[in-house]
Amino acid sequence: MIKILAIESSCDETAAAVVQDGTQVLSNIIFSQADLHSKYGGVVPEVASRLHIECIDTVVQEALQEANTDLEAIDAVAVTFAPGLIGSLLVGLSYAKALAFGAGKPLIGVHHIEGHICANYLNGMKPPFVCLVASGGHSHIVRVNDYRAYEILGKTRDDAAGEAFDKVARVLGLGYPGGPNIDKAAKKGVADIAFTKPNFHDGSLDFSFSGIKTAVINYVHNLEQKGLPLQVENIAASFQKTVVDILTENTFKAAKQSHIQRIALAGGVASNSDLRMRFKEKAAAEGMEFYCPEPIFCTDNAAMIGAAAYHYYKCSAFAGMDLNAKAYLPIDYNQEVL
């Protein structure tokens, strides 16, 4: 049995988990800084780094304790090294390096988006499959050919889906983080406003969300200028429906073109109730298998990093003490040249 201690600190969650054999979560501790950033309407990078420093040790100790284990019994230390906020990444990476070096354990560097995808292994998914990864910083359709082997089939040309949720929420006065609040408001509304969907005429599977975001902002400003009341719930429902339509259409098109019958969701936006429902229904209608991590493993967490790291452990793909954090790195990076 292989036990991996995993650490994630790429944005505003300080997280640590112990994962056994890549599938069993023995502990999953998440300290979310969201409340502290909410008064600024978004994550303040410098504040995030400082908070990571303050609580990373407690979070890691708690993860070991809850898993009823200690560093001695751990087989490897895994950590998110890219992409993300550089200061935030450096806190987790430096801590993980020190821990691994001090305890004489191997170090495994995990790509954050790969972690999101691998959260699906926690409930039994196996490659090959097509995965939509939609979070605050990324919107990708990825073909997972094998463990550790990724191909990007489509990506956003401007804003990430989560970013659009957050900005629209702000304009509607729903606060940060916007996704869960829009999800909640949309349940009480009717999707009666038609926001135009982007249309690339080149057959591309790419996304674009900035046009819809601007359309919602203009719609709201227009009503405000006329002194008319805002139907916040209906606007939220209409915006969410438009985004879910686009995400669903492109991902299923990608799976069809790849002749793959298995489809999955990942990333913070994957906890959206409408998106999950739509994927489930469409997969059932098309006779496809559908996987989606539990919501707690969709938003940032370290269990997903442990699930990804297991497949690096199995082939001894360990990182050196010179592993550096990277703010930007595509998921299909060459793992040999790091």
Report the residue number, 19 or 76, with the smaller CB distance to ligand KG4.
19
**48 vs 302: CA distance, rounded Å:** 17
Helix axes 273-285, 178-187, angle to 10 degrees: 70
Interface characters, 132-161, with Zn ion (x: CB under 5 A): ---x--------------------------
Q: How far is the CB of 240 from ligand KG4 (least distance, A)?
A: 8
Q: How far is the CB of 44 from ligand KG4 (least distance, A)?
A: 15
Beta bridge partners of 161: none
Under 8 Å between Cβ of 338 and 323: yes
Report the residue number, 4 or 186, with the smaller CB distance to ligand KG4.
186
Report the residue number, 22 or 177, with the smaller CB distance to ligand KG4.
177
87 binds, among Zn ion, ligand KG4, none (CB under 5 to 8 A by kind): none
Q: Which long-range contacts (CB under 8 A, 24 or more apart) does 184-187 make?
A: 185/232, 185/233, 185/236, 185/237, 186/233, 186/236, 186/237, 186/239, 186/240, 186/241, 186/274, 187/237, 187/273
Report the residue number, 106 or 295, with the smaller CB distance to ligand KG4.
295
Token digits for 93? 């990476």
Report the residue number, 22 or 162, with the smaller CB distance to ligand KG4.
162
260: nearest Cα among 180, 151, 175: 151
166 binds, among Zn ion, ligand KG4, none (CB under 5 to 8 A by kind): ligand KG4
Phi, psi of 317, rounded to the nearest 5 degrees? -85, 80
CB-count burial class (<10 Å; 0-12, 13-18, 19+) for 68:
exposed
Buried b (16+ CB within 10 A) or exposed e, 279-310: beebbeeeebebbbbeeebbbbbbbbbbbbbb
272 binds, among Zn ion, ligand KG4, none (CB under 5 to 8 A by kind): ligand KG4
| Residue among 4, 300, 319, 323 that touches Zn ion (CB under 5 A) | 300
Q: What is the contact surface with ligand KG4 in residues (CB under 6 A)?
A: 11, 135-137, 162, 165-166, 177-180, 183, 267-269, 271-272, 299-300
303 binds, among ligand KG4, Zn ion, none (CB under 5 to 8 A by kind): none
Q: How far is the CB of 21 from ligand KG4 (least distance, A)?
A: 24
Q: How far is the CB of 160 from ligand KG4 (least distance, A)?
A: 7
127 binds, among Zn ion, ligand KG4, none (CB under 5 to 8 A by kind): none
Q: Which residues bind Zn ion (CB under 5 A)?
A: 135, 300
